[in-house]
Amino acid sequence: MHIKLIVPTWEEESIRKMAGSFRWPPLNLPILAALTPRDIKVSIVDENVEEIDWEDIPDFVGITCMTAQAPRAYSIASKYRKLGAQVVLGGIHPSMLPEEAIQYADAVVIGEAELLWPKVVQDFKSRNLQKFYKADKRPSMSSIPIPRRDLLKLDKYILFNSIQVFRGCPHNCSFCSVTKFFGNTYRARSIPDVIREMKMLKGTRLRSKIFAFIDDNIAGMPRYTKELCKAMIPLKIWWGSQASINVANDIELVKLLAKSGCRALFIGLESISPESLKEAHKSFIKVSKFADAVKRLHDYGIIVEGAFVFGFDADDESIFERTVKFADKIGIDLAQFTVLTPFPGTRLWDKVEDRIITKDWSKYTIGNVVFKPQKMSVEKLQKGVDWAWSNFYSVRNVDKRILRALKRPGNVVPISILQHSYRKNIKQKKRYLKSLEESCGQE
């Protein structure tokens, strides 16, 4: 018996290339592989780093996907079913829209799959596969096995030591589906288990001391994170993750982050507008505190990448220029500018459903406008987001940030590399959009 687990790629070429610049190994499917009985052959295909071998037809196919990957996932599922394999779909998008997903598969796993996967496999073996599987509780983090990374082509990734310690989030921000999928409380692994896995990764043939924690907020439980940092200090590693800007309020935590090897944090600043932050249900972060927080993180050698979202009801056409100027003023090293996107299952979806202009899921990349904003046209919002990217990463602004980073010698090289990676991706997207316009003009 052969089970093939697949991560589909993105349909939009520019997104595929951008993802390729910052790719790291998925953990969800390697975890399921670890939960599969050892007498069953398991393989994993991540389409972001390799192509599917359609001549290798398994007995059973498992596909995970986010919303923008759904069309590709459905296409893969349909093709394998025609080839005679049975298919199960899972991940955030099928979990939010299981009735849609089941049209393309034999079964759908709703929510976290760890408690369900052994039954799914057993039901398939006994020819008793159910349409829907949903657990009545969430898995304990202590019950989740070490992922089968041996099934991945690790040398194809930019950063191959990815690790997860948390699941869940209590904030339930309007545009985010994490709380609905993983629950409204933080669940954490035991620190000895985390350290054991990190030591194992350091000892692999790739032997990298650089790690990425793929958690939504590495500092969500400050007391836990402090103890984790203390345990990581002897490992002498470098690492990065995501965190709330409020992490900088706790000086003891910031010191421990730096001492344990934290070199970069991706932080959702979201907006410079208090009204928009309130709309996003993120009033707990204060725009007036951003500059001091960034400076404190810089003082301890931590690179800051800030993420901004455009398209809130409070946003007018001035928001783009004001945001780029603000981002420069507070001194963040890198920035992402995204379009507010109403993903299925979020509170934002419920709010703007009557304003949605497309349900072509491949457009739900956080780079395309898919609903009508309140204070500007769809075209103005799209052009404004694209302008923000181009302006922030102009040659002049990139050079200015690199010069500014000279005051933090240990950060100069990674900041320079990342700045130019973003510039390259912006150019690729412009070429992609131009080719689309030209092809449309020829039709």
Beta strands (DSSP E) in 333-399 are: 334-339
| Closest among 77, 64, 58, 52 to 27, alpha carbons compared | 64
**Whether 261 and 337 share a structural domain:** yes
- The half-sphere exposure of 241 on its side-chain side, counting CA atoms within 13 A, is 28
Specify the higher pLDDT residue, 23 or 17.
23
The pLDDT value recorded for residue 232 is 97
86, 117, 134 — which closes off a domain? 134
- Any idea which of 25-29, 44-48, 208-212, 385-389 has the lowest mean pLDDT? 208-212
- Any idea which of 143-157, 404-418, 422-436 has the lowest mean pLDDT? 422-436
**Whether 265 and 373 share a structural domain:** yes
Residue 176 belongs to a domain: yes
- The Cα–Cα gap between 280 and 173 comes to 6
The pLDDT value recorded for residue 315 is 97
**What pLDDT digit, counting tens, does each position of 334-353 carry?**
999 999 999 999 999 999 99
- Any idea which of 52-61, 65-74, 407-416 has the lowest mean pLDDT? 407-416
Kindly provide the b/e burial profile for residues 16-53, where b requires at least 16 CB atoms within 10 angstroms of the residue's own CB: ebbbbeebbbbbbbbbbbbbbeeeeebebbbbbbeeee
**What pLDDT digit, counting tens, does each position of 156-206 carry?**
888 889 999 999 998 889 999 999 999 999 999 999 999 999 999 987 766
- The Cα–Cα gap between 37 and 116 comes to 14
Residue 190 phi, psi dihedral angles, 5° rounding: -70, 140
Is there a contact between 239 and 213 (Cβ–Cβ < 8 Å)? yes
Confidence of residue 440 (pLDDT cuts 50, 70, 90): very low
**Whether 15 and 114 share a structural domain:** yes
**What pLDDT digit, counting tens, does each position of 19-29 carry?**
555 578 899 99
- The Cα–Cα gap between 132 and 145 comes to 24
| Closest among 235, 255, 239 to 247, alpha carbons compared | 255
Confidence of residue 15 (pLDDT cuts 50, 70, 90): low
Is residue 436 pLDDT above 50, yes or no? Answer: no
β-bridge partners, 63 = 6, 89
Residue 425 belongs to a domain: no
- CA 21, chain centre distance (Å): 14
**Whether 228 and 349 share a structural domain:** yes
The structure tokens listed for 153 are 């082509």
**Whether 118 and 190 share a structural domain:** no
Give me Rg for the CA atoms of the chain.
Answer: 22
**Whether 224 and 370 share a structural domain:** yes
Residue 23 belongs to a domain: yes
The structure tokens listed for 222 are 């400050």
Q: Which helix (H) or strand (E) holds 428?
A: helix 409-442
* Entry field: residues in the chain: 443
**Whether 73 and 216 share a structural domain:** no
CATH of the domain at 278: 3.80.30.20
**Structural domain span for residue 253:** 161-392
Residue matched to tokens 């040659």: 395
**Whether 212 and 318 share a structural domain:** yes
Strand 210-213 relative to strand 86-90: parallel, antiparallel, unpaired? Answer: unpaired
pTM of this structure? 0.92
- The Cα–Cα gap between 182 and 258 comes to 28
**Whether 218 and 128 share a structural domain:** no
Is there a contact between 183 and 167 (Cβ–Cβ < 8 Å)? yes
